Amino acid sequence: MSTREWVAVHRKHHAKCETADDPHSPQVKGIRKVLWQGAELYRDEAANAETLKKFSHGTPDDWLENRLYGRHTLLGVGLMLVIDVLLLGAIGLLVWAVQMVWIPFWAAGVVNGLGHYWGYRNFEVQDASTNISRWGILIGGEELHNHYHTYPTSARFSVRPYEFDLGWCHIRVLQALRLVRVKKVPPRLRLGAVRPVAVLDAGTLETLIANRYEMMARYARGLRSTCKTELQRLGEHRAGADRQLARLARRWWHRDADRIPGHVLPRVQQLRSLSPVIDTMVHMREELRQLWLNTTLGRDQLLERLRLWCQQAEDSGIAALQDFSRKLCAAC
């Protein structure tokens, strides 16, 4: 594929993620289709003239792209075959075959398939992206796909200390050689002195919005811890849930309502009704999320809602909410 075609399809995926217009969403087309026919889905969408017109802006439009890459799309793989055979002899044919399968299967199939279907999530973004592995080695860091969709303009995909992004290592080497310049990495939340709720300003609101995914990840940790304590207090047998279902509910309590499977939602709602503490925390999580989803309110109105939220958290008597409110008031 030419640069223009690949970029257009990829941009459309991000713009229409997990909708019927997404070129390769396993949530829509099915995991088997995307996993085994991911490259074919890319080629099919690249033939859509409307996609190219709408999403290919800013891609290379020079002599190399138009006369070489665009016209001779098989030249690259052909040259690779010649190089492999010259360097390795007959075994070069096997190496070349592996290379030809690697990108279509791993990048187009595994990342676009499993990366939106199975794995763990550190951040609750609007799509279904997941991290396939904590170590991004086989696909240059794309295994950390949830982070990629959370911070799509970041040069580094690893966020937690236990994660590894091989692509970031390559970028750092090129940076040391002064061949590239890193423009953006994931934002780092900084906490200062805790301030009274009444003096929270627009800077706090901007910090919250810029670090919203990290803040919600911290909220999720407090919510899970509180849920565990509450379930122990209630007793799972009194809550009417066996241990497997209770674990399932704890797994989904901190997720957006539209991301909770239909067969889990009734049990989650039942357990919420038995614990006012859990119900309050889930409810206030949604209120906090609406702060940056709301596009109709001005900055002053959003700031007033943030102050009100923090005050309600401090007055709730719930330790996890009070602790989180203090973190918000210390954001700088």
pLDDT tens digits, one per residue of 71-87: 888 899 999 999 999 99
Report whether 165 contacts 303 (CB < 8 A).
Answer: no
Q: Are the beta carbons of 139 and 114 closer than 8 angstroms?
A: no
Whole-model pTM: value is 0.85
CA-to-CA distance for 277 and 262, rounded, in angstroms?
A: 23
Task: Please give the Cα distance from 255 to 286 (Å, whole number).
Answer: 10
Q: Is 200 helix (H, G, I), strand (E, B) or coil?
A: coil
Q: Which tens digits make up the pLDDT trace of 258-307? A: 777 777 788 778 778 888 998 999 999 999 988 888 888 888 898 999 99
Mean pLDDT throughout 312-321? Answer: 94
Q: Which residue has the tokens 């969709």?
A: 149
Structural Rg of the chain based on CA atoms:
24
Residue 106 and residue 139 in contact, taking contact as beta carbons nearer than 8 Å: yes
Count, residues in the chain: 332
Kindly report the CA angle at 235 between 229 and 239, in degrees rounded to 5? 110
* Structure confidence at residue 89 (pLDDT): 95
Is residue 274 within 8 Å of 239, Cβ to Cβ?
yes
> Which residue type, as a one-letter code, is found at position 6?
W
What gap in Å lies between CA 129 and CA 112, rounded to an integer?
9
- What single string gives the DSSP state of each residue in 300-316? HHHHHHHHHHHHHHHHS
